[in-house]
Structure 1
């Protein structure tokens, strides 16, 4: 006897089974390798500005208030502590919450929207080329910007306590050796690793994908806002924009955020080494 199954029920059963299989497959796949799913719905500019500047205003305000009330630790170390307690948790929280809203669980997945896999050597090659460009900009644009901004810079540092001037190495050397060593270790950890990774996940990963309606202008907009977001270093915007824009564009074009992360970490590594060498060169 031939048994027949109502077609609607059978088709629904197959659809349900296949849907379950696809769901399990998507969940098991590493979104950090490749995630072709694009976040739905672009972000408005007011929300974009709020997500960028509210956290940095809060962190900078806390840094200034605490710095004015105590000077037991160097301002550089104080800033790392404030960033760890205020700035980075907010930025990561935005990414985690977006992942929960769009994908159903707290993760970094929203920072990897439309992400495509790339071999590690190719990522490193992009980062090294971009780093070479950054070196050229550092030699060509850095001194020019410092010269143009020197009147404003001199006025600014005359009006604030020497404690907040990160370039004042003589002031910094008055701290005990143990505190200086802790500051240098913190500088390496947060300026070379934690800071660049969190910022790239937030800016080049999540935020850039949420203003995709601007097309190739998306990385430009985010890069300019990223530079302005550095309220604690307000006089280096031209250099920051010119250095980070190519990396942001390449990461956006290649759909791989690791390019921007590797580049950012590499740039900060060299600047951190230079700072530490200058600090101990007495």
Structure 2
């Protein structure tokens, strides 16, 4: 039986919780649910992550990892909590996170997912010049470490052991778990609740997800390009596994390869 229509033994939610669990979010509500987490991540970076990493002498990407963790881990728990309101137990099922009906066999979705992973990885890397141009043209006023076309040059101020240690501490989070949470939230929770937008829903979701990355706002054009095919596929076929392969999969690949190259001095 489809998760959306499973019977619930729990008392039906009311108020704002009922609005969150409804089959349709209003456009203003959806915009807020897409963008508020990004604003909170920037605040968590500024007030929690940056002071911690500066005190410990760690690269600033550790501060962004902390900011992401401070916001996304509770957000993940929130999805389970919504499941409890819906079903009486902590779960993302019961219609909370959708597109989990698995219409494809494991082998077929693996092949599709690998294709999307390769597409996202190759295209995102090839669009780095676009990111640099967008930053240099429109966003030079954003001056925190590692922003824009400065790339990873700021890492030269840190020892190799410090950079590698930071990557090992946060890599499992930024390289897989946090992107996985983003997929559950943005593709599994928010995207299915935009039926009024029809075929525009994937573009709406992709654009807002790209803007949600306020800390890298100059990458919005490239993110739309390399994310949209996977998001559209998930919306079209109702199988979130495709974007999980694409987004967390690509993040994991780039984290492992990047850490290896840096550790061996090739980067």
Same fold (TM over 0.5): yes
Contact 1:55 1:90 in 2 (8 A): no
Would the alpha carbon gap of residues 135 and 46 (structure 1) be closer, same or farther in structure 2, given more than 3 Å must change? same
Hey, what's the Cα distance between the residues in 2 that align with 1:195 and 1:210?
22
Hey, what's the Cα distance between the residues in 1 that align with 2:134 and 2:149?
19
Matches within 5 A, 1:1-282: 35=3, 37=5, 40-66=22-48, 67=50, 71=54, 72-85=57-70, 87-109=71-93, 110-117=95-102, 118-135=104-121, 137-138=123-124, 141-153=127-139, 155-156=140-141, 160-162=143-145, 167-276=150-259, 277-278=261-262, 280-281=265-266
The alignment's TM-score, normalised by the length of structure 1, stands at 0.75
Q: What are structure 2's unaligned runs of at least 5 residues?
A: 7-20
Q: Match of 2:216, SS?
A: coil
CA positional deviation for 1:217: 2.0
C-alpha root-mean-square deviation of aligned residues, in Å?
A: 2.9
Hey, what's the Cα distance between the residues in 2 that align with 1:239 and 1:120?
30
Which protein has the larger Cα radius of gyration, Structure 1 or Structure 2? Answer: 1
Output one character per residue of 1:126-168: Cα deviation in whole Å (capped at 9) or x when no partner.
1122234335534654434433442335x235xx243667955
Contact 1:97 1:106 in 2 (8 A): yes
Hey, what's the Cα distance between the residues in 2 that align with 1:275 and 1:152?
28
